[in-house]
Amino acid sequence: MTRLDETLTMLKDLTDAKGVPGNEKEARDVMKRYIEPFADEITTDNLGSLIAKKVGDENGPKIMVAGHLDEVGFMITQIDNKGFLRFQTVGGWWSQVMLAQRVTIVTSKGDVTGVIGSKPPHILPAEARKKPVDIKDMFIDIGASSREEAQEWGVKPGDMVVPHFEFTVMKNEKMLLAKAWDNRIGCAIAIDVLKNLKDEQHPNVVYGVGTVQEEVGLRGARTSAAKIQPDIAFGVDVGIAGDTPGISEKEAQSKMGEGPQIILYDASMVSHKGLRDFVTDTADDHNIPYQYDSIAGGGTDSGAIHLTANGVPALSITIATRYIHSHAAMLHRDDYENAVKLITEVIKKLDKDTVSKITFD
């Protein structure tokens, strides 16, 4: 087994933390523990987004670097009389990645292990076997014999349900497999950017933010940005890796290990051209690899942040990731480290005049 270094230990702690939308406390506590040594002040908004402030020049522009704390998961909605649990998805799920997967129900009496089940294919008509099982026909089996037994174990409607997966360093040690890369990797980037700036002069005030409820509508991004009122913002998240079998370059062109993704366009935002050009020019100056991408069917926290007050120049910088919105996703450590390096170098140059030029040119 690979010995975990300081960075891998942080990434394991972040991804192991349980936190579906509306239940981000455990993930927030982990992020706070890691970012606090590099921040001058830690606050939250009223929904629970974590805001770590680091002052370079207190009269300089405000720069927001936001990753979201929440992960896709489920919520218990009913317990039937045999002790099986009905649930609601919280965030986007594809039914084909869910069946027979292990989950953890977080109750007031402690964690309870379950598995997602459905009617077995052996008793289905031939036509039904050809179709994916609808999520509404799935349930969670915790091994209880009755509703009363499940309740004795602490299970009740509203409880959070989280995918279960063990953080794993692959044989190629650059490849990291875990649940919740979407988007604990963004939280890790925010932590490490503040860490990089610890002893550096920077002509601005930087906010490393862990937002809540991104997966259900970019909600914490909206409230935290309203509190910060940033002048420039970066949404850091995962993107689509286009390097697995069956994906054409027309569908997704990014490859793991070839640099962070600069998002040109997504369903929530057209990226700010001046900021985009400034970031890619900085990457070129420092020989930091990057890739362009566009995601017609998704969005990031930048989509809510850029509409704050009278508008915020914003850009999404993402990490090409395989198998997002499932129990286990994979990304490349170099992409993460290059994203941290790039955002750090950009922030060092974002003084008042530069931000004004980016905004109004």
Would you please indicate which residues are annotated as catalytic (active-site) residues? 214
49 exposed, middle or buried (CB, 10 Å; 0-12, 13-18, 19+)? buried
Place of tokens 């994916």: 132
The pairs formed by 33-38 with CB atoms below 8 angstroms and a separation of 24 or more are: 34/10, 34/191, 35/190, 35/191, 35/194, 35/208, 37/195, 38/191, 38/194, 38/195, 38/197, 38/198, 38/208
Q: Are 75 and 159 in contact (CB under 8 A)?
A: yes
User: Pairing mode, if any, of strands 269-270 and 232-240?
Assistant: unpaired
d(CA 11, CA 16): 8
Q: Are 66 and 211 in contact (CB under 8 A)?
A: yes
d(CA 96, CA 326): 10
Report residue 305: phi and psi, to 5°: -65, -40
